[in-house]
Amino acid sequence: MTMIINETLRLYGPSNGLARTVAREVQLGKLVLPAKLDILPLNIGLHRDPHLWGDNVHLFKPERFADGIAKATNYTAAAFLPFGLGPRSCVGMTFASIETKIALSMILQRYTITLSPAYVHSPILILTVRPQHGIQVIIEPLHNNF
Q: Which is nearer to ligand HEM, 36 or 138 (CB)?
A: 36
Contacts of 82 (CB under 8 A, 6+ apart): 9, 10, 13, 15, 43, 47
Chain positions 15 to 44 lying near ligand HEM, rule: CB under 6 A, are: 15, 18
Q: Which is nearer to ligand HEM, 91 or 102 (CB)?
A: 91
Q: Which is nearer to ligand HEM, 32 or 77 (CB)?
A: 77
Q: How far is CA 51 from CA 39, 72, 76, 79, 127, in A?
A: 23, 12, 11, 10, 27
The rounded distance, in Å, linking the Cα atoms of 84 and 58 is 21
Q: Which is nearer to ligand HEM, 72 or 82 (CB)?
A: 82
Q: Site for ligand HEM (CB under 6 A): how many residues?
A: 16
User: Under the criterion CB under 6 A, does residue 13 sit at the interface with ligand HEM?
Assistant: yes
Instruction: Report the candidate in 71, 15, 19 with the shortest Cα–Cα distance to residue 47.
Output: 15
Q: Is 37 annotated as a binding residue?
A: no
User: Under the criterion CB under 6 A, does residue 4 sit at the interface with ligand HEM?
Assistant: no
Beta strands 137-141; 111-115: pairing state = antiparallel
C-beta separation of 25 from 35 below 8 A:
yes
Contact pattern from residue 65 through residue 84 relative to ligand HEM, giving x for each residue in contact according to CB under 6 A and a dash for the rest? -----------------xxx
> Closest distance between ligand HEM and the C-beta of residue 77, in Å?
12
Backbone torsion region of residue 37, taken as left when φ is above 0, otherwise alpha when ψ lies between -120 and 50, otherwise beta: beta
User: Under the criterion CB under 6 A, does residue 85 sit at the interface with ligand HEM?
Assistant: yes
Interface residues with ligand HEM (CB under 6 A) are 13-15, 18, 82-86, 88-92, 95-96
Residue numbering of the annotated binding site: 90
